[in-house]
Copies of this chain bind each other. A is one copy, B any other.
Amino acid sequence: VKRLSAACVAVGSELLGRTKLDRNSLEITAALAEYGIEVVEKVTVGDHPERLTDAVRRLVRAHDVVVLTGGLGPTADDLTRPAVAAALGVDLVRDAALVETIARRYRSFGREVPGIAPVMADVIPGAEVFANTVGAAPGLAVDHQGCLVVLLPGVPAEMRSMLHGELRQLLNRRFGAARPVGERTLLVGGVPESDIEERVAHLYERFPPGAVSILASAGLVRLVLRAGPEAGDPTSVLDAMSAAFRSVLGDDFVGEDLDGLEHAVIAEARTLGRTVASAESCTGGLVGAMLTAVPGASDIYLGGVISYANEVKRDVLGVPEDLLVTHGAVSEPVARAMANGVRGVLGADWGLGITGVAGPGGGTADKPVGTVCYAVAGADGTTIRKAVFPGDRDAIRRWSAHSALDLLRRRMSGLALP
């Protein structure tokens, strides 16, 4: 099989500032790899017609596939359609039927059709048009001198739906069905990265360089395993690699190829037929937002109480006033009372309580910023943990949410507790 090369082009001046990066190329890279197409170059250019035209002209000559994202909207700084047309040496043609399709999209949102909308119906002659089922701007795909040039929206949800919808269909027709790709991610919970690293270090030597990488983020570790096409059937190679790591990880192993710990918690609770409720102070709703990001979570997650103020802990969750006075809001007894309180008030099988000092203010010598108490209450008792998490407010909140969800996962499944 000849290896095909591709380039990703992210368009938008906002991607050349001090904060925002092109992330669309990650998902595009993963999808193209399933067709044996390797992204070997990524380019980000601003809303600048000549630079964009130059880049496209160059990349179309050099690669088999060029995927652009962004700049397909109707506004003055959306330049991708005309810039690509210029690079290919063709003129855009307005597609009257597409003008009407776009207008219907706006009306389906209950919105007026803006006067500038029809510009999104300007197509490159011969291009296949991808319908936008999320937003308004259609995508385009056109062949030019042996290169497949694809234009996708920059809004991630719109890009994603087109990438996995009509673009995949086109790639299936063109390059055959997608083939399993040799990558698998093991999610590991409740242990610091350096511990994991030490425990799995001896396994690294068994596999080729670059075959294993470790990514850590606020209490969650991801081990990424890769099997190149040269290694034989990727599935069996990855099965063997995964088994080797799982035998070392034991109960710290959460699952394979999961979007997050919350997916494991919802799936496990569903298997067991159990319901969950949360009482959150320092995380302020983050655990609820994570759990309810999982489609279908409503069978499992009944809801929660964000007990940011002490009065809410007392009046809504029934945390006794004397616990708050004697031990303070950030304490193991209060975390326990929150978990039990929300379990009782909402009538859930499992209750989760989190209270802590997320900072930047509020730390004391006794309870510095990062101090978090969390508890999991079930029919057979309550487990409480206290930790001092590192990082800024955001990191401490994510550490708290991950640690509490991991404790819930272990309690639900009867696993070893950290």
Contacts and interface: CB of A to CB of B under 8 A. Distances in A.
Interface string A99-130: 00000000001110011110000000000000
A157 B390 CA distance: 10
27 contacts: A13-B210, A17-B224, A19-B26, A19-B224, A40-B46, A42-B42, A58-B58, A76-B197, A77-B212, A109-B390, A114-B198, A116-B198, A116-B201, A157-B391, A157-B394, A157-B395, A278-B285, A278-B306, A284-B291, A284-B292, A284-B293, A288-B288, A289-B289, A292-B397, A293-B397, A303-B312, A304-B308
B42 A44 contact: yes
Interface in A192-215: 192-195, 197-198, 201, 204, 210, 212-215
Contacts of A278: 285, 306
Interface in A20-45: 21-23, 25-27, 29-30, 33, 38-45
A192 B114 CA distance: 11
A264 B174 CA distance: 50
Interface in A152-201: 155, 157-158, 160-161, 183, 192-195, 197-198, 201
Given A16-B42, A283-B292, A306-B306, 20 more contacts: A13-B213, A15-B42, A16-B38, A40-B48, A41-B46, A75-B194, A77-B213, A116-B197, A284-B289, A285-B288, A285-B292, A288-B289, A289-B397, A292-B358, A292-B397, A298-B309, A303-B316, A309-B346, A312-B346, A316-B345
Interface residues of A, number: 114
* Copies in the assembly, this chain: 2
A18 B13 contact: no
A14 interface: yes
B293 A302 contact: no
B134 A392 contact: yes
A15 to B, nearest CB: 8
A44 B41 contact: yes
Given A197-B75, A197-B116, A388-B110, A295 B346 contact: no
